[in-house]
Amino acid sequence: MAKNSSGDDKRNRARENARQIAANQAKKEKTAKTILYVGIAIVIVAVLGVVGVLIFQQNKPAVSPENYVADGITVAKDDTLVQPKKMPEGEESDLPAPSEAGVKKDAATVTVYIDFQCPGCKAFEEGNSSMLKKLADEGSIVVNYKPVSILDRMSSGNEYSTRSANLAACVIDNQPEVAVDLFDALFAQQPEEGGNGRTDAELLKVAEDAGVDTSKKLNADPEQTVKSCVSEKTFEKFVEQSSQTALDDGVEATPWVLINGKHTENTSDPQALATEILKATGEFKG
């Protein structure tokens, strides 16, 4: 009996040892699975958080610069910024009405979509700016400039189109009186297509040479200056959205010129363009 009892004890101990080993192994596997599942959950939460931030950033409203109306600026006599002749529904502006700036009742609106990286835009401005300014000073037209960025690919990753349009927004926000001078300076210092574009420091130098106070605080965000607006690309989202609006509205290239809302092809012939504009005002009957 003792022998059999001893054998039974050995078998029982062996079974108990095996059970404990199995239990420990199961516990380790359960712990490992828990750690794995917790790790996966943390990764999922982190990914969802990043996606959420990206979606929020993508969908949040753009910070809009002051003095822009319908994604552009309207210039009258002496390069004064005024409201458009027809204010878009739902928009407001503290700028003077065209009539307050000497604009005639039947004045035409010449809308010009420009990209500061665009050689054609530079040529348009060089060939037509004096004629447009003369007509604006006479009260016969207002010029509605709409800066867009569609040529970022032409500055070797520098995104010059967007960054220069952002600079324009930074300046127009708090120094609208130098807007036209800035535009002229940006075209005069236009980088070559396919080059490296301009650095922030170079852009700010162009602005300062045009009479811009780069230390002046923004109206849209008083915690920023023109200088920080350039470095932080404060109006990048605004530029992106306004450029997309231009494309949605049928803009196919720059310069894209409208006379009272109608597209014209006379962008390289100042005389023909002037004639077409004056016909739109009723001042020329030929």
- For the segment 161-185, the average pLDDT, to the nearest whole number, is 98
d(CA 76, CA 142) in angstroms, rounded, equals: 5
Q: Is the pLDDT of residue 36 over 80?
A: no
d(CA 197, CA 158) in angstroms, rounded, equals: 6
Domain borders along the chain are: 1-60, 73-281
Residue 87: what pLDDT?
95
- Please indicate whether residue 208 or residue 286 has the higher confidence score (pLDDT): 208
> What is the tens place of the pLDDT at every residue in 185-203?
999 999 999 999 999 999 9
Q: What residues does 237 pair with on adjacent strands?
A: none
Residue 60: what pLDDT?
45
- For the segment 128-154, the average pLDDT, to the nearest whole number, is 97
For residues 177 and 73, the answer to whether their CB atoms sit within 8 Å is no
> What is the tens place of the pLDDT at every residue in 235-268?
999 999 999 999 999 999 999 999 999 999 999 9
Residue 234, judged by CB atoms within 10 A of its CB (0-12, 13-18, 19+), counts as buried
Residue with tokens 């092809």: 265
Give the pair of three-digit tokens for residue 215.
């230390």
The CATH code of domain 73-281 reads 3.40.30.10
> What is the tens place of the pLDDT at every residue in 90-113?
999 999 999 999 999 999 999 999
Residue 69, judged by CB atoms within 10 A of its CB (0-12, 13-18, 19+), counts as buried
For residues 238 and 62, the answer to whether their CB atoms sit within 8 Å is yes
For residues 184 and 125, the answer to whether their CB atoms sit within 8 Å is yes
Q: Label the pairing between strands 108-114 and 141-147.
A: parallel
- For the segment 17-26, the average pLDDT, to the nearest whole number, is 71
Q: Label the pairing between strands 141-147 and 256-259.
A: unpaired
Return the percentage of the chain with pLDDT > 90, whole number: 77
Q: Is the pLDDT of residue 58 over 60?
A: no
Confidence band (pLDDT; 50, 70, 90) for 226? very high
d(CA 70, CA 60) in angstroms, rounded, equals: 18
d(CA 235, CA 200) in angstroms, rounded, equals: 14
Residue 108: what pLDDT?
98
Helical H segments across the chain, by residue range: 2-59, 119-137, 160-174, 179-188, 200-209, 226-231, 236-248, 270-281
Give the pair of three-digit tokens for residue 110.
């010449």
Give the pair of three-digit tokens for residue 166.
């952002």
Q: Is the pLDDT of residue 141 over 50?
A: yes
Q: Is the pLDDT of residue 159 over 90?
A: yes
d(CA 175, CA 59) in angstroms, rounded, equals: 29
